[in-house]
Amino acid sequence: MATIWSDESRLARWLDVELAALDAWAEVGSVPAEAVAAIRAAVQVPTPERVAEIERITDHDTAAFVDAVTEQLGPEGRWVHFGLTSSDVVDTALSLQIQDSGRLVVDGIDRALAVVVARAQEHRHTVCIGRSHGVHAEPTTFGWKLAGWAFELDRARTRMATALESNRVGQLSGTVGTYAQVEPEVERIACERLGLEPDPLSTQVIARDRHAELLCALGLCATSLERFATEIRHLARTEVREVEEPFGKGMKGSSAMPHKRNPKVAERICGLARVVRAAALVGFENVPLWHERDISNSSAERIVIPDAFLALDYMLDRFAWIVEGLVVHPERMRRNLEASHGLVFSHRLLLALVESGLARDDAYRLVQRHAMDAWEHERDFRKLVGADPEIAPCVDLDAVFDLDATVRHVDTVFERLHALAGKEEPVHA
């Protein structure tokens, strides 16, 4: 990813666009084919140092690049940048960089998805407590939790693919996009050679709603990773300790406290998600340019687009590392579930009483009274309701307090997960 966004790669992509344009000019008969052949035989990507040296004089990076290219050539060099304006080169090359980067991000999502699916299958029947508002709610399984992450990653992949397709466009339409000095056929041929589609209407720049969509897709993916990392952080708290990040031999969790095993990589993911989301905001701000074109977008997106890709690429790699090596404590999950003294069955008891003929609110108040007693005095909920003559004779308490019954539909979700894993061939699951 760093290579794609290096100065060397950026200049190489600029040259790719210039050469594709020359090929197109030659094909339509406006530039001698032998001149294009001579250029291709002699030209090399100029070094960033040479372009910077010329730019100190020109105060224009694209003009400096063109000068650095043409100084390598003989008389044929006059055809370089023929009919083009800076944005033709810069925007089209940016689209190529986005496609290259996007492929790496999709690969990263695929790897993360594969790891999540594998661990979800492993813990398909590992029962744990589900929480709402951070408070015990009802049982679930750890695999069920991870399956939800898998489906979200699949949606992230779909959004990424859509955004990449929206950005698979190039432009060689000249100043203010009117093809006054360049032929539409040149644009079509050059874009085809570069693996892009011509933008149906560019106004000297490709409209930045495309890039905003891309940054939103990156930001949403980063935010999903933050959600997963936040869950890991909560489950790793000392009071919970249901999972732990991988902790290898020789690692230190704290410079001061030798006992510490902190969820530091998950915290790193959460921090970087803020950076990627901030980039998405810049993408929105870059959409409303003045008239046909200004360059208020340029300085900002030269930072945020590479940084968003770099950050997310790293986040995906670290997230896959966490999940693959995640230490899971099923016995602790069971103890935590049991720590609320059976209150996780209150909803099943409520429904059983309703089915027995009791009015819902009467049943609710009856169950709630015993639930609060169990909660406040740490008493066994089943024993309390079993001793109540208004409840015990009316329901089958063994059926009500059946833990397996609470997660009996887990196979339904995993059938869907199996279909998801089979849908995407690149997913290594």
The residues annotated as belonging to the active site are: 133, 254
The DSSP letter of residue 295 is S
Do strands 135-141 and 169-170 pair parallel, antiparallel, or not at all (unpaired)?
Answer: unpaired
How many other C-beta atoms are found inside a 10 Å radius of the C-beta of residue 238?
Answer: 6
Closest by CA position to 246, among listed 322, 316, 298, 317:
322
Q: 82 and 25 in contact (C-beta within 8 Å)?
A: yes
Cα 240–246–250 angle (5° rounding)?
120
**Helix, strand, or coil here: 225?**
helix
How many other C-beta atoms are found inside a 10 Å radius of the C-beta of residue 270?
Answer: 21
Q: 350 and 143 in contact (C-beta within 8 Å)?
A: no
Residue the block writes with tokens 């049943």: 363
Give the C-alpha distances (Å, rounded to integers) separating 255 from 30, 251, 258, 261, 368. Answer: 68, 11, 7, 11, 48
d(CA 142, CA 152): 16
Cβ-count burial 161-200 (b if 16+ within 10 Å, e if not) = eebbebbbbbbbbbbebebeebbeebbbbbbebbebebbe
d(CA 312, CA 316): 6
Give the C-alpha distances (Å, rounded to integers) separating 229 from 271, 291, 399. Answer: 10, 43, 36
Closest by CA position to 108, among listed 250, 310, 292:
310
Name the β-bridge partners of 139. 129
